């Protein structure tokens, strides 16, 4: 079972103070700590578990700068066999569509049975790279996958739906599956695994090696262009309603009526 896992090197912003940079189209990244995208972490773990059970190979691939090597080496330390970094100045500003095109060019001639991506990326939240990649490759896909059973050239997967519901679908392989958090528990990366990963080669490919031109990637080749980023202003403070349950209910009803909601 040959598995390709598409991963992303993203900033950890949960506890960081986010500031908009001078362009107004990005965040100030100085001082931010980068790591593997949370959803991709689960995708790598699932790929390695399948390899340990069924045999085969796991290849981690990313579109990003040289700094993204730390994320690829984390994948290697966890059990991936190969790592590929797709890097070129022309890739800067690529949206999900352009990123999927870059990945497609790198993957289309590689042997694979299944491709994993995270359900979404923690920095942009577009959740579009996996499905677009599948369409470019001409293979089926399933999103928000919480459980996978592989057999007889197909994958039976549980997909997470709204409201706590799940559905079970069968997808013919090869296919793209976007992995949701909670599908497994990512393993601890050992010191020995890190040492071995540091010795492995990371293949680096750019625009010319992938057979792309500058108009197909970056902002020129993107569907989505960021015009402006801003921090939403705090306009109102929370109002605490006190009193008996009847008084609180009546006050809430008055507020909803005043806003035209009931």
Query: What's the pLDDT tens digit per position in 195-247?
Result: 999 999 999 999 999 999 999 999 999 999 889 998 888 777 778 899 999 99
Say what the pLDDT of residue 230 is: 87
Burial class (CB in 10 A: 0-12, 13-18, 19+), 22: exposed
- Considering 9-13, 105-109, 247-251, the range whose residues carry the highest mean pLDDT is 105-109
Burial class (CB in 10 A: 0-12, 13-18, 19+), 185: exposed
Average of pLDDT values for 146-162?
95
Say what the pLDDT of residue 15 is: 79
Specify the pTM.
0.86
Say what the pLDDT of residue 136 is: 98
CB atoms within 10 A of CB 42: 24
Say what the pLDDT of residue 13 is: 82
Query: Rounded to whole angstroms, how far apart are CA atoms 11 and 206?
Result: 23
Residue-wise pLDDT tens digits, 28-83 = 988 899 999 999 999 999 999 999 999 999 999 999 999 999 999 999 999 999 99
Average of pLDDT values for 177-201?
93
Residue-wise pLDDT tens digits, 15-40 = 788 889 989 888 898 889 999 999 99
- In sequence order, the 6+-apart residues with CB closer than 8 A to the CB of 98 are 91, 216, 217, 218, 221, 222, 223
Q: Where are the domains of the chain?
A: 2-216
β-pair partners for 179? 118, 145
Average of pLDDT values for 177-193?
93
Class of domain 2-216: alpha beta
Task: Give the residue, 234 or 104, on which the prediction is more confident.
Answer: 104
Query: Helix, strand or coil for residue 235?
Result: coil
> Quick one: what percent of the chain has pLDDT higher than 90?
76
Contact (CB, 8 A) for 253 and 245: no
β-pair partners for 20? 27
End-to-end CA distance of the chain: 56
Question: Can you list the positions of beta strands (E) in the chain?
Answer: 2-7, 9-11, 34-36, 57-63, 82-86, 114-118, 141-151, 154-160, 166-172, 175-179, 202-205
> Quick one: what percent of the chain has pLDDT higher than 70?
100
Say what the pLDDT of residue 1 is: 93
Please give the mean pLDDT across all residues of the chain.
94
């Amino acid at each position: 079972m040959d598995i390709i896992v598409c991963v992303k090197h993203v900033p950890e912003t949960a506890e960081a103070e986010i500031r908009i940079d001078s362009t107004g189209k990005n965040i100030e990244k100085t001082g931010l700590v980068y790591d593997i995208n949370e959803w991709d972490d689960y995708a790598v773990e699932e790929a390695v578990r399948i390899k340990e059970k069924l045999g085969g190979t796991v290849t981690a691939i990313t579109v990003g700068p040289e700094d993204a090597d730390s994320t690829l080496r984390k994948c290697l330390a966890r059990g991936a066999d190969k790592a590929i970094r797709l890097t070129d100045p022309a890739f800067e500003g690529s949206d999900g569509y352009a990123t999927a095109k870059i990945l497609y060019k790198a993957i289309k001639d590689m042997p694979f049975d299944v491709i994993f991506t995270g359900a979404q990326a923690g920095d942009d939240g577009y959740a579009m790279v996996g499905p677009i990649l599948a369409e470019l490759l001409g293979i089926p896909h399933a999103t928000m996958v919480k459980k996978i059973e592989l057999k007889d050239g197909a994958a039976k997967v549980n997909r997470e739906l709204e409201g706590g519901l799940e559905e079970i679908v069968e997808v013919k392989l090869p296919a793209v599956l976007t992995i949701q958090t909670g599908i497994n528990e990512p393993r601890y990366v050992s010191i020995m695994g890190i040492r071995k990963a540091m010795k492995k080669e990371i293949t680096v490919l750019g625009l010319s090696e992938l057979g792309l031109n500058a108009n197909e990637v970056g902002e020129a080749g993107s569907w989505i262009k960021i015009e402006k980023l801003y921090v939403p202003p705090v306009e109102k403070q929370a109002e605490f309603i006190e009193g008996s349950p009847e008084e609180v209910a009546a006050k809430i009803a008055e507020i909803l009526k005043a806003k035209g909601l009931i």
